[in-house]
Structure 1
Amino acid sequence: MSLSDRESLLAAITANPEEDIPRLMLADWLKDNGVPDRGEFIRLQVEAAQQEAFSPRARELEAAAQELLNRYRGEWTRALSERITDHRFARGFIEHVGVNAATFVQSAPALFATAPIRSLLVERFTRMVDPVSLEPLFNSPQMTRVRKLDFSKLENTTDYFDPLAACRHLNQLTDLNLRKLPVPVSWFRALIAGSAFPALTGLDLADNVHLSRVLAEALPCADHRRLTRLDVSFITFPSDQIQKVLASRCLRAVEELRCVWHRESGGPGPLTRLDLGWTIPWDRLRVLDLGGQGVSDAGVGEIVAGTSRRPTPSPLRWLRLANNGLTASAVYELVDSDPARLKLYYLDLRNNYLSDSHRTALKGRFPEAEVLV
């Protein structure tokens, strides 16, 4: 294969970012043409993505890829470094980038021609009274390639919400991060109820304390949505509101649920007084983060009961219960769970009242898991 073949493969990867075959073909070309480490990195990340998430094999491959990335990051990001503020690799190539809204339109054609970019962190670097408008960014044709948008680093202004919802290039958007932003309640209600972003499956609304009521009202009515990832951490829900949110039909297929709480604030978390076995939508849940939520030892038993109530083994693989004041009784609940029903690859119980002996017991019960105590 010639250099023109290399360029053709790069073009195929950029044009078809979901496909693995062009990536693996380029990995082979690089190995055969004097760039073996770059090719090996691509192969490792592609193979890791093909494994069950969080599994020992996935972690092994990711660790090997990370060693190579630590060694070559500067070289492998040099072509984009002047156009981006942040980056993250996926399946061998830069897929996520941070961009400056003021320069995005000028840099976007070259940026998207260089890498299979699908995820943007949008930033505005300005101290002017009037911030840079995001409308040119939303009107950029390159936005049709974007699947994930992160606005969490924008300042506390609301000028970009209406243009965002009206953007005609985001029909394939799957994930929207609005963490700790002044999301207008009426705007959010209309977004969830409307037809914008028909492919949306992931919402990060953490730290939007003012959205509790509208979430409890809007999500139960959003049957046309199918959310598989939801982060409502640090939102002050009354118990009845969080129950309505989690019982919504649009969350029946949720795979990742994060509801972290400030335990140091002194008040209980929204889920503290509820039966987690019946409140959490367990059917397809793979990731559950209840850090600081005030989950009791009995609550851990409710989690075990909830995962065991399914007719088939639980898909739950990642569980974080850090900073919950748990004791040995919680460990016993987990250790006594049915191995045929519950298999974990990641278990975080840090900042509880536990010891190394408890970690040993948990590791014996979940031998494939990364256990943190």
Structure 2
Amino acid sequence: MNEEDALLRAICEHPDEDMPRLAFADWLDEQGTVSAAWAELIRVQMALARGAGDPRERLVARERELAPVVVESWPERMGLPVGLMWQNWTRGFPFTLAGPGELIRAAHPRFAGRVPLCEFNFRGATDADLLALATWTEARLVRKLGVWTDTERITERAFIAMVDCEHLGKLERLRMERVQLTERAAVAFLDSPFMAGLLHLKLLVGGLGHLSSGTRERLRGRFGEYDVY
């Protein structure tokens, strides 16, 4: 592991702390023009996140100048594939990754332990995407998850793998389309200790008529009439 990877890993292991990000910004200052811009963006966004005080307008203006420079060059600098959207930059890093599920899986070795992601939005998702996600230890940072499919449906196997994933224990928001919510999958979802912290849920399952009355009542009692439909 080189020095850059070690510094990035420290950020991912302690995403709420300031010191790892400041240490990385100091290291970036030594690397060159684009890296120096990223270092400044980290410090500016950290100051804004703390409230900033009197110089807030100046910091916001500087953030607007720096962000396009850093964001445009950032994927290439990090060795990340094109076709993905790295969104919602906060404290110097994007916390949302959106794009085709296949591309997100392909990019995983490059962002794992290097980018403190808190949200994923999988487009054109398949079972393979959820089965992969269930093995990622860095999913422990994830608070929001969106899964959109095209013509395929997410099967029972992949859905259960996701709800049984201990790394998703901090998940707060979940939205999924075209889920094969079988009786077994629904019960696994309701009984999962790792889904206990969900605050907002939207599941498109094509109706609940195939589920037992007890399971339907449990779903509606916990999540409401229109959160699973």
* Counterpart-to-counterpart distance in 2, 1:71 and 1:122: 26
Q: Are the equivalent residues in 2 in contact too, given 1:49–1:58 (CA < 8 A)?
A: no
Q: How many equivalent pairs are there?
A: 216
Q: Are the equivalent residues in 1 in contact too, given 2:94–2:115 (CA < 8 A)?
A: yes
Whichever structure has more helix as a proportion of its residues is 2
1:48-102 superposed Cα distances (whole Å, 9 cap, x missing partner):
33339xx998787556424311233221222354165211222211332125433
* 2:204 pairs with 1:197: no
1:87 alignment partner, SS class: strand
For structure 1, which runs of at least 5 residues remain unmatched after alignment? 126-130, 237-373
Superposed counterparts of 1:243-258, under 5 Å: none
Q: Which residue of 1 aligns with 2:6?
A: 8
Q: What amino acid sits opposite 1:117 in the alignment?
A: L
Q: Which residue of 1 aligns with 2:174?
A: 177
Superposed counterparts of 1:1-373, under 5 Å: 6-31=4-29, 34=32, 35-51=35-51, 61=59, 64-78=62-76, 79-82=78-81, 85-88=84-87, 89-102=89-102, 104-124=104-124, 133-134=128-129, 136-142=131-137, 144-155=139-150, 157-160=152-155, 162-167=157-162, 168-178=165-175, 181-183=177-179, 184=181, 190=187, 193-198=190-195, 200-205=197-202, 217-218=217-218, 221-222=221-222
Q: What amino acid sits opposite 1:72 in the alignment?
A: V
Quick one: higher RCO (CA 8 Å, sep 6+), 1 or 2?
2
* Counterpart-to-counterpart distance in 2, 1:185 and 1:62: 49
Name which one, 1 or 2, has greater alpha-carbon Rg. 1
1:197 alignment partner, SS class: helix
TM-score, with length taken from structure 1: 0.45
2:86 alignment partner, SS class: strand
* Counterpart-to-counterpart distance in 1, 2:160 and 2:56: 36
**CA spacing shift, 1:69–1:150, aligned 2, 3 Å:** same
Offset, 1:106: 4.6
Q: Which residue of 2 aligns with 1:355?
A: none
What RMSD, in angstroms, separates the aligned Cα atoms of the two structures?
A: 4.4
Q: Are the equivalent residues in 2 in contact too, given 1:109–1:142 (CA < 8 A)?
A: no
1:174 alignment partner, SS class: coil
